[in-house]
Structure 1
């Protein structure tokens, strides 16, 4: 019994960093005794007091508060522990992908069904021919997020994507939230793409699958789909088996489908050049209404807008850009393959930027060709390209477009399934998810168990659930990850090197005891402002790094407030003045961050214009998240609650980083100095 208690209290001792406790046994009772001089906030006489386990048995209220405070601080420190990443560490996965493989993976994941559907729906309802500007604005926002991912790919070339990037910067709890958000996004994305593939294929052959399923196996539930989608399950199972065979084989199949998709899109652009008419970019509403009958005039007035290149003005362009932004989601799957790439520190940044630029060119070319082939107000929102080719007398092009759409959906499905098991494996490898998920097949060098589990979850979701109301979950998860990664880039860029921080902290302590801090204590706020803006540190220090962390949190809060007010109560009279005040405060806080010294560590890629570009990315992502206020946030909260339950019941206790910290803590005294 005593041995069991001794082990328990040794673990408790390691948890309470800075609170060194001696375990003694007397008469079958266990006592804790604080070692002298290990907790500087207590007096020498208090250090000699023995404390019985349990705060209720400590007679002194002050001592009880101090012990409780120490325990709370230790728990919070465990939630905020960061992961140390060594790029030179070996991996259990197979390094076989090159830059070309990653570019194809990124293009295939991003350039999916959106190019066949989104372009037509946005052009008709929001942007008109100015959809090219909407895609350009959306691409700028996506490239900003992509640059942040690219820098982290150079810093931490490991598997995990945004989950890993958050873990090395912001701590374990936020990393788990980010990783779980990614898993929600990937699960919903995989299931929705599989159902879209099934529906598209069924439509091409005349709809017999849906007709048979509705008649013979209806589900008859509002919470479930109209019928079980067995075809989508078969598709998910096939691609799960493909991923289990190996990453090289998956990349080869992705190359085939992506190549067919690119050929079809180039054909569409060539068709736009040959058969398109630029007069469709300058439609005159009066001429159209004069030629229409009285019945059609009512519907045409709404769809025509003001005519011309921007029939719905800049409001329509930006509204369309918000929708087009989601067409660029998918490039982040490149960042999940860090341990399967031959030269990840160079290949990942190049691949992310290259894939986004290729997708931008494709989206611009196809959307421009579409609006040139057919007037924007006549576009079909469900099948814009086949209808457009029929409009110009090329009905045979419908078959090519159908083949391209199925190939695009196949590569999107592969791109959605590829990162999910790798994030699961990375979280299990870190001890935050169940240990059996970290198993790697010795022959194929793939996370086999994580892949199978991910496939089962995606197949079950696609089989039973109606995903129409849950697709926004995919966007929410991606935007949460984008925002966190952008914030982490700012924090890490101004964070001192670990070895240098130890040296500077001692020097800062000496300086604090001599005069500078005395002046700040005397002058208060004015001295702090002078330090932040006029006399910042010349090199990154723990003090300047902490200031940047605080400023980044403030900027995220300001961006959230700005977005909520701008989206929900934009019509109020006081809104412009309030938004101007929030913008001014954001500029002031950004100036504080800008004045701090940056870490000059050499990387193969760095985001330019830090902190401005990451902060703009944070603002855009937050604004887009707020636009989903009517989205399924209750479902998101439910899914996140399940994840947090797993973390606090399992991951918090089994964290690999926590075990390393405890092992390292055995070599430290109460002040963190090595013995």
Structure 2
């Protein structure tokens, strides 16, 4: 039995409960939106600044009481709300048609998540002014403030189903992630051992659950939310960068020779790296484009107008991406910490920001000119490199909006992860590559 089949069998025992919790959670969300709209008052979006309680709440009233910057800080903090849909991508081995089903499922789930958050936040802020909101339990408090205690208890009990649905959503991709990391020697291999009865990485899942519970007991809710947000933003930044790396990478095609066995007429394939390529063929021209020729300076903007990636163009694209990420960090720092000097028109602040933006535009122009892979895929990110580049810039900016304590905790977390990989995962991978070379 393959591991994918084993994991698929392990899903069946919990999928029914997960579906029930999800349906109940969606029902509660619809109840909040419908019931809250009955008590909605548009005047709560038009709060007079003079009526804001001074000394207890900060804000200028109106529709944007904390301004655009406050809205972006809130988006950076609650970005963790979009972390659940990635479990769809980890179930590719159990999907009948993953190339079609996974992209559609991700887009549909993102739309549903957006509508749920948009509807809930809309009715809550229309029910109660922003300065009277309870940050710990905003929805039950809003219904209590409008003297609707029955709805308050329905929402409070429904929150339990929401927590259960979130728990199942977090535990659903966990066995696959642990198994894949254990197989790649990124974590200890015993964590990926599949249990004979439960058909899941039992030890790894159990230890991960216990460790998650320990973290929840030690840290406050706000700290955990910020840690989830910064982790999610970093993961999406890496995904966007990976899209660019793969799109501009060389597609290596091994060449094979048809051989015939001595005791049978069956034909087998055997790799032969010394076979001379035909002089005139489409495949030959494809293979020749992998050879580097011309100057490095000419390839920076692809003056030779190559149509397929080479090793040189791949390296240039990687360097462009690295410089762009550094410039995005610098632009984010300037936008956050040099906002007042820029608004005041100080030359040094405007010059630094302009240089960073100019360099980012130049490296993107260089990246646009590089040849892209022609590998056929059922689903590709459109408008490359514009959409991944904007995603990287936005995610880095949102990460920089988080507080310094979150960055310190994140740095410690990353140090622990790199230590495990450096002292265990990396030596195992090097050892595996050496063994592979000996077999060849």
Hey, what's the Cα distance between the residues in 1 that align with 2:292 and 2:35? 71
Which residue, 369, 373, 395 being the options, matches 1:595?
369
Structure 1 Cα separation of the partners of residues 437 and 130 of structure 2: 65
Q: Deviations over 1:514-549 (max 9, x none)?
A: xxx3xx4xxx84x455xx254331122222222211
> 1:313-347: CA deviations, max 9, x gaps?
33333333333423323322322333333333323
What SS does the corresponding residue of 1:597 show, helix, strand or coil?
coil
Task: Describe the shift of the 1:545–1:319 C-alpha distance in structure 2 as closer, same or farther (beyond 3 A).
Answer: same
Residue 267 of structure 1 and its aligned partner are, at CA, apart by 1.1
Matching of residue 645 in structure 1 with residue 423 in structure 2 = no
Residue in 1 that maps onto 2:100: 346
* 2:12 corresponding residue in structure 1: 248
**The residue matched to 1:425 in structure 2 has which SS?**
helix
The equivalent residue for 1:373 is: 127
Distance (Å, rounded) in 2 between the aligned partners of 1:324 and 1:642: 25
Distance in structure 2 (CA, Å) of the matches to 1:298 and 1:511: 67
Q: Superposition pairs for residues 59-458 of structure 1, below 5 Å?
A: 91-94=2-5, 246-286=10-50, 288=51, 297-299=53-55, 302-303=57-58, 305-307=60-62, 309-458=63-212
Change (3 A) 1:500 1:590: farther
Structure 2: gaps of 5 or more residues:
256-272, 274-283
- Tell whether 2:432 aligns with 1:659: yes
SS in 2 for 1:585: helix
Structure 2 counterpart of 1:609: 383
Q: Who is 1:621 aligned against? A: 395
Q: 1:542 to 1:528 in 2, by over 3 A?
A: closer
- Contact in 2 for aligned 1:94/1:446 (Cα 8 Å): no
Note the 1:508-547 alignment, pairs <5 A: 512=293, 517=294, 520=295, 525=297, 527-529=298-300, 532-547=301-316
Structure 1 contact 486–617 (Cα < 8 Å) conserved:
yes
Name the TM-score, length of structure 2 as normaliser: 0.82
Moved more, 562-571 or 537-546: 562-571
Tell whether the 8 Å contact from 2:24 to 2:158 is kept in structure 1 after alignment: yes
Which structure has more relative contact order (CA 8 Å, sep 6+)? It is: 1
Cα distance in 2 between the residues matched to 1:346 and 1:259? 25
SS of structure 2 residue aligned to 1:93 = helix
Deviation of 1:368 after TM superposition, in Å, equals 1.5
Given that 1:93 and 1:446 are in contact with CA atoms closer than 8 Å, whether structure 2 keeps it comes out as no
Alignment partners' CA distance in 2, 1:393 and 1:408 = 24
Tell me the SS of whatever aligns to 1:381.
Answer: coil
3-state DSSP of counterpart to 1:540? coil
The aligned counterpart of 1:242 is none
Q: Cα gap change, 1:91/1:490 in structure 2, threshold over 3 Å: closer, same or farther? A: farther
Q: Distance in 1 between matches of 2:177 and 2:389?
A: 26
Contact 1:439-1:447 at 8 Å conserved across structures: yes
Q: Deviations over 1:357-414 (max 9, x none)?
A: 1011111111111122223332222222223223334221011110221111111122
Structure 1's 641 and 361: CA in aligned 2 closer, same or farther, altered over 3 A? closer
Q: CA deviation at 1:272?
A: 3.0
Is 1:559 aligned with 2:328? yes
Aligned equivalent of 1:549 = 318
Q: Measure the CA separation in 1 of the matches of 2:327 and 2:251.
A: 29
Cα separation, partners in 2 of 1:510 and 1:255, compared to 1, 3 Å? closer
For residues 538 and 402 of structure 1, do their structure 2 counterparts lie closer, same or farther at Cα, with a shift above 3 Å needed? same
Deviations 1:435-494 (A, max 9, x none): 222211244432222212222322344455667545533333222221111101011012
* Aligned residue in 1 for 2:288: 507
Kindly state the Cα deviation for residue 510 of structure 1 after the two structures are TM-superposed.
7.4
Separation of aligned partners in 1, 2:291 and 2:26: 63
Q: Indicate which of 235, 239, 258 corresponds to 1:485.
A: 239
Q: Is the 8 A contact 2:192 2:201 kept in 1?
A: yes
- Take 2:291 and 2:193, find their aligned partners in 1: how far apart are those partners? 50
Size of the aligned set, in residue pairs, is 408
Note the C-alpha offset of 1:93.
Answer: 2.5
Q: 1:276: how far off?
A: 1.7
- Alignment gaps of 5+ in structure 1: 1-89, 98-244, 290-296, 668-675
Partners of 1:96 and 1:652 in 2: how far apart?
Answer: 27
- What displacement does 1:506 show? 6.7
Retained in 1: the 8 A contact 2:73–2:398?
A: no
**How far, CA to CA, are the matches of 1:665 and 1:571 in structure 2?**
61
- Name the CA distance, whole Å, in 1 between partners of 2:21 and 2:419: 40
8 Å Cα contact 2:78-2:225 kept in structure 1: no
Q: C-alpha displacement at 1:500, in angstroms?
A: 8.0
Once residues 222 and 42 of structure 2 are traced to their aligned partners in structure 1, the CA distance between those partners, rounded to angstroms, is 36
CA–CA separation in structure 1 for the residues paired with 2:291 and 2:31: 70
Distance 1:560 1:510 in 2: 34
Shift of 1:618: 0.8
CA contact (8 A) 2:21 2:162 kept: yes
Q: What SS is found at the alignment partner of 2:405?
A: coil
Distance 1:96 1:457, change over 3 A: closer
Contact 2:29 2:116 in 1 (8 A): yes
Q: Is the 8 A contact 1:432 1:652 kept in 2?
A: yes
